[in-house]
Amino acid sequence: MNILFLEQNPRFGGGSERIGLSLCTHMHRSGHGTHLLHEGGGDMVGAFARVTTSITRAPVRPLAVRRPLEAARSLRTFIRVVKSHSIDVAFTSQLGYVSLLAVAGSMDGPPSVVHLGLALSFTSPLYSWSQPRISASVTPSEPMLRTCVGLGWPASRMHMVPNGVDLERFRVRDDGADIRAGMGLPRAVPLIVFLGRLVEEKGIFTLMRAAGELKRQGMVFHLAMAGLEAGTNEELLRSAEQGGLGPDYFSLHGATDRPEDMLAAADVAVIPSQWPEPFGLAAIEAMACGAVPIVSDAGILPEIVGPENAGCVFRQGDAMQLAERIRFVLTDAGSRRLIRARCLERVREKYDLSRCGRAYEEIFASVQSTR
């Protein structure tokens, strides 16, 4: 099977940005032809290059009825790439491409599969027309599936497949001290990490307040935050200053194409979201690397870590409770080892990329067979 992965600006950011790369990795390992078509640049292109048969950069933009000439060019380019690589199925996690895939499908283009990682509603009549013309849509959780049905996605074409983590890439390692040294992080103090979009809805300022509270309590640690800048860097630095978090306690890093390194070096990974998370890829990546996940009660996050790890869950927005959870994990070595072992078992049992990938393979095969 030849599978086209359609991205606009492939980059390491949130879960929706990384699901395409994860699936491409699985399909490549399973012997399928994997092809990337992207419009703009991004730091994920190099990672795609290791698991793709071909990469094409071309001006394929989301369709806009107010720009008919641009829409026509995008469709022509998309169809040309599809034909040149004998594409059987097109996949995207970018909702902006839903209309392009639907229109192309109506013009004898390939069947399409869309990953619905975000519950977004659009007023565009073209988007509404397109939703039932996508061959299959996939959500990472049951709550997200119900939400998307309410937003107009046909239930008969929807599937629920939990996101998976590549356990060959995200794994427990013994070179944490070397990783820290290479990143300029302290070697000998507990390391707390946050990886994701640096936006308020991800709970970054709750985490900063919690870190300031831990500092006031006399704890020694280092908090490293890495992610896509969203105009919040100055606010984060001010928050660090207000909390007394100097460079020994806090560092801010850009988005990384190797999140597995920072997670493998971490003692704790915090996912402090303040919006209804439809999944929580950062949590399972942390679990796979042996970092204890501490998550808010937003959305599906508590289900990700499991009821056996309820002590890793705090009330969203509650910096004091978050500080309490972090303190417990960092100061009780026995509990930390037990939580870590339970998390590793859970991620291997429920969230292995191979399980997720096989489910998508079945979906891809089913939409191909109905053409």
pLDDT digits (tens, 9 = 90+) for 107-150: 889 999 999 988 777 888 999 999 999 999 999 999 999 999 99
pLDDT tens-digit readout, 142-180: 999 999 999 999 999 999 999 999 999 999 999 999 999
Task: Please provide the average confidence, as pLDDT, over all residues in the chain.
Answer: 93
- What are the C-alpha distances in Å from 139 to residues 13, 40, 110, 147, 310? 18, 26, 21, 10, 25
Residue 278 pLDDT:
87
- Strands 112-115, 136-139: pairing is parallel
CA trace torsion 65, 105, 279, 176 (10° rounding) = -100
| pLDDT tens digits along 285-342 | 999 999 999 999 999 999 999 999 999 999 999 999 999 999 999 999 999 999 999 9
pLDDT at 230: 64
Q: 78 pLDDT exceeds 90?
A: yes
Provide mean pLDDT across the span 61-87.
92
Give the angle subtended at the CA of 12 by the CAs of 208 and 137, to the nearest 5°: 110
Q: Distance (Å, rounded) from C-alpha 137 to C-alpha 204?
A: 31
With pLDDT > 70 as the criterion, what percentage of the chain qualifies? 98
Q: Is the model's pLDDT at 57 over the cut of 70?
A: yes
Q: Is the pLDDT of residue 56 over 80?
A: yes
| Predicted pLDDT at 191 | 97
Distances (CA, A) of 270 to 22, 266, 334, 343: 22, 10, 19, 14
Q: Answer yes or no: are the C-beta atoms of 259 and 195 closer than 8 Å.
A: yes
Q: By C-alpha distance, which of 328, 337, 283, 278 is closest to 305?
A: 283
- Structural domains in the chain, CATH included, are 2-164+352-369 (3.40.50.2000), 176-350 (3.40.50.2000)
Asked whether residue 13 carries a pLDDT value surpassing 70, the answer given is no
In the predicted structure, residue 43 carries a pLDDT above the cut 90: no
pLDDT the model gives residue 51: 95
> Is a pLDDT exceeding 80 seen at residue 206?
yes
pLDDT at 233: 82
Q: What is the C-alpha separation between 246 and 237, in angstroms, rounded?
A: 9
Question: How much is the pLDDT for 207?
Answer: 97
For the segment 225-237, the average pLDDT, to the nearest whole number, is 81
In this structure, which amino acid lies at residue 280? G
Contact 283, 193 (CB under 8 A): no
**What single-letter DSSP state applies at residue 88?**
S
pLDDT value of residue 66: 85
- What's the confidence (pLDDT) of residue 371? 65
pLDDT at 370 over 80: no
Percent of the chain surpassing pLDDT 90: 80
The predicted pLDDT at position 18 comes to 82
Q: Supply the pLDDT for residue 15.
A: 67
pLDDT at 264 over 90: yes
